[in-house]
């Protein structure tokens, strides 16, 4: 019975096991870039690092609030995402 309960418990805990674990970079990107449109809009685009910096600056005209360091992290993150 104990084993059965334990199995049930881990099955419940494992509801989110299918999705990949989120890194701090994922969290930053999602928190900054999925407010006005889906994150998919950015994830499906392929741009260079400089193009991403320009795109993110354009997003700031729409009202995005972001620091210089965060802008660079997200640009780097999006370039890396398209490498695989």
Output 26 or 55, the one with its CB closest to ligand HEC: 55
Q: Give the per-residue contact string, 24-63, with ligand HEC (x = CB under 6 A; - = no).
A: --------xx-xxx---xx--x---------xx-xx--xx
* Chain-centre distance for alpha carbon 81: 10
- Which positions touch ligand HEC (CB under 6 A)? 32-33, 35-37, 41-42, 45, 55-56, 58-59, 62-64, 74
């Amino acid at each position: 019975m104990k084993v059965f309960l334990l199995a049930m418990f881990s099955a419940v805990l494992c509801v989110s096991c299918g999705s990949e674990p989120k890194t701090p970079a994922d969290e930053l990107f999602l928190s900054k870039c999925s407010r006005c449109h889906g994150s998919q809009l950015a994830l499906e685009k392929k741009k260079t690092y400089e193009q991403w910096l320009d795109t993110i600056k354009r997003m700031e005209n729409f009202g995005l609030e972001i620091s210089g360091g965060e802008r660079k992290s997200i640009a780097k993150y999006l370039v890396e995402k398209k490498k695989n």
